[in-house]
Structure 1
Amino acid sequence: MRRIRASVGAAALVLTVGALLAGCSQEYQDERGKGDAPVEGGKGEDTPAEVYNMPDGFGNLATKCVGHGFRAYVTTNATGPSNVQVVEDKSCVG
């Protein structure tokens, strides 16, 4: 009986790890490994962002209105994830 429980536990662990790894798909990665999430219908809101270039070694900053009444600030980082802040901005009306 212990062997059956151990086998079931091991199978559950393997399935859980497999599901987690499947969620980390590389399907949307571009050649630099910085892919975007899929957008329903392949169309999204593509207005350009304002980009502020920082000196080499520092993340650049991009900002634009997102949704209605909000502004997003995003920094790039060559060695890790980008930083994102979304704040209320009354000048962002749509």
Structure 2
Amino acid sequence: MEFDEAVLTRRSVHEYSDEPVDDDTIAAVFDQVRYSPSSYNLQPWEFLVLTEDPNRERLKEVAYGQEHVTDAPVAVAVLGNTDPSAHAEAVAEDQLRKG
């Protein structure tokens, strides 16, 4: 399945491959994710990609022990900026540069 198709037909799934996900695949996913819209196009988030077992175990501890956090070869924590205006100036400058 191509990534675009996966996004358009997404479902909550808790059956994962045992195969690791290579860095190129992760980069391709986030190439698409960066186009997600947000208020004023500020994208007040960061993504923490966890590929190592110990890091996913630590996430599981704060994710109420959800098994699928460690069952998957990759977990992504989405971190929201509580002050989205913190980088508004840089976004506005970029928009002005692009006309």
Q: TM-score, normalised by structure 1?
A: 0.27
Q: Which has the larger radius of gyration?
A: 1
Structure in which a larger fraction of residues adopt strand: 1
